[in-house]
Amino acid sequence: MRTDLTNQPATTHRMSCTAPSVKSRQPFTTTPIIPTTFREVRIFDTIASLGDTHGMRPAIANINTENLRHNYRLLSSRAKPAKIMAVVKANAYGHGLAPISSALFDEGCRHFSVTDASEGMELRKLLPEAESIVLFSGIFDSDDAEFARKQTLTPTITSKHQLELLQSAGFSGSVWIKINTGMQRLGAENPAQLMDRCRANGIKIAGIMSHLACADTPEHPLNRVQAEEFSTLCQQLGPKLPASLLNSAGLVALPDEMHDFVRPGLALYGAEPVVTEPLGVRPVMQLTGQVMHVRKIAAGVSLSYGASFTAPGDMKIAVVSLGYGDGLPRAVSNCGQAYAKGMLLPIVGRVCMDYCLIDCSTNHLEPGDTIEFWGEGLAVPTVSDLTGTIPYELFTGVGKRVFRRVI
């Protein structure tokens, strides 16, 4: 059944619905192509006329680095004197590692975290002068240990096995020690012993970190339990060592627990970690498609795969160049919205791999118009709530074939 949201004002109100390696695609070479044969001339002409999307269809994530900088400054001033360790794993949460990390570095950020050695090496190439590149998942094998040594990466470790791998690689840098305070995920069983062994092997301790399980629910009692456990353990293990507990939501839930480093990811990208207590961050990603065709539909005609939507009256439908193959969740079929020209418009019929259909019966849309699926007009937490997921999953689900246009 159609949710008639046509002509509703552009608010980010909650909707309800019953309800899925992100790297920006490399542009064509920037090296000038010197055509020599007829065939190459044709290729050269084509490339030259492709525009900034390089021949990719208009499924575009606009990446607003000004908003990113605003968010970084906002979080820095909130965290002060604690420093920011910017979480840029998973291709900067799908936003593109290169533009995000360089804008953050430019803004003064010197500490970054990724998940593994592969991401760490990629970041080290981009930011040779970053003071630390922390690997949240640590190291898995001797290659990782070697990469950590060569690229001056800072693994987070939890086990003797990881320490031995580092030792064998001749690693003499620093490691963070991760401790479990309630998440029951990663954490050293005997952190004191692990730290002693590190030091005995010439490996320095960068600090002690733990991760919150329920920070996005500030009133959850586990937050305070974890904070207290963390403070106690830090006192026992090394009161002078740098400590880090908070992620984005932690900045809202436990503002008195900043310690030495805070580790925001989500909030840097402009999604409020606790929607009811906004920090004032601004969206960095605007996910868009383009109207390809506007079609008149007569009452009683059904739309898209499965014919799951039938026009209740005569309608106008815009076919838009964004589908689940780009990261638009299929769960928005028949219940989500898109934002165009200051209005929220219903998504009708099933979302396809490359397209979706929106009801523009009462709005003038024409081919070439840009349609936003999340961004300034439609906040990403609204879309994730609707589809029973979280902004992280929506961001990291934006596919390789979506062009990241840095603005």
Ligand X SMILES: Cc1ncc(COP(=O)(O)O)c(C=O)c1O
- Which positions are annotated as active-site residues? 89, 305
Binding residues among 160-219 for ligand X as defined by CB under 6 A? 211
Sign of CA dihedral 6, 10, 16, 18: positive
Interatomic CA distance for residues 108 and 150, integer angstroms: 25
Return phi, psi of residue 84, to 5°. -90, 130
Structure tokens at 94: 């799908």
Q: Which is nearer to ligand X, 156 or 334 (CB)?
A: 156
The contact mask relative to ligand X for 73-92 (x = CB under 6 A, - = no) is --------------x-----
Amino acid at 187: G
Interatomic CA distance for residues 281 and 194, integer angstroms: 38
Among 120, 265, 270, 375, binds ligand X (CB under 6 A): 265
Q: Does 111 bind ligand X (CB under 6 A)?
A: no
Alpha helices by DSSP H, 36-108? 38-48, 65-79, 89-93, 97-106
Among residues 91, 63, 60, 55, the alpha carbon closest in space to that of 322 is found at 60
The stretch near ligand X (CB under 6 A) out of 224-232, 263-271, 300-308, 362-370 is: 263-271
Interatomic CA distance for residues 359 and 367, integer angstroms: 14
Closest distance to ligand X from the beta carbon of 265 (Å): 3
Q: Which is nearer to ligand X, 158 or 248 (CB)?
A: 248
Placement of tokens 């603005």 in the chain: 407
Q: Does 391 bind ligand X (CB under 6 A)?
A: no
Residues touching ligand X: how many (CB under 6 A)? 12
Return phi, psi of residue 32, to 5°. -60, 135
Strand partners, 288: 60, 372
**Nearest residue to the partner ligand X, using Cβ:** 265
Query: What percent of the residues of the chain are helix, what percent strand, and what percent coil, each to the nearest 5?
Result: 30, 20, 50
Q: Does 243 bind ligand X (CB under 6 A)?
A: no
Q: Which is nearer to ligand X, 84 or 317 (CB)?
A: 84
Q: Does 264 bind ligand X (CB under 6 A)?
A: yes
The stretch near ligand X (CB under 6 A) out of 71-79, 123-131, 266-274, 305-313 is: 266-274
Among 263, 330, 350, 404, binds ligand X (CB under 6 A): 263
Closest distance to ligand X from the beta carbon of 155 (Å): 13
Amino acid at 290: Q
Amino acid at 315: M
By the 10 Å C-beta count (0-12 exposed, 13-18 middle, 19+ buried), 218 is classed as: middle
Closest distance to ligand X from the beta carbon of 382 (Å): 18
Q: Does 262 bind ligand X (CB under 6 A)?
A: no
Closest distance to ligand X from the beta carbon of 95 (Å): 12
Among 64, 67, 248, 304, binds ligand X (CB under 6 A): 248
Q: Which is nearer to ligand X, 156 or 361 (CB)?
A: 156
Binding residues among 267-326 for ligand X as defined by CB under 6 A? 267, 273
Residues at the interface with ligand X (CB under 6 A): 87, 136, 211, 247-249, 263-267, 273
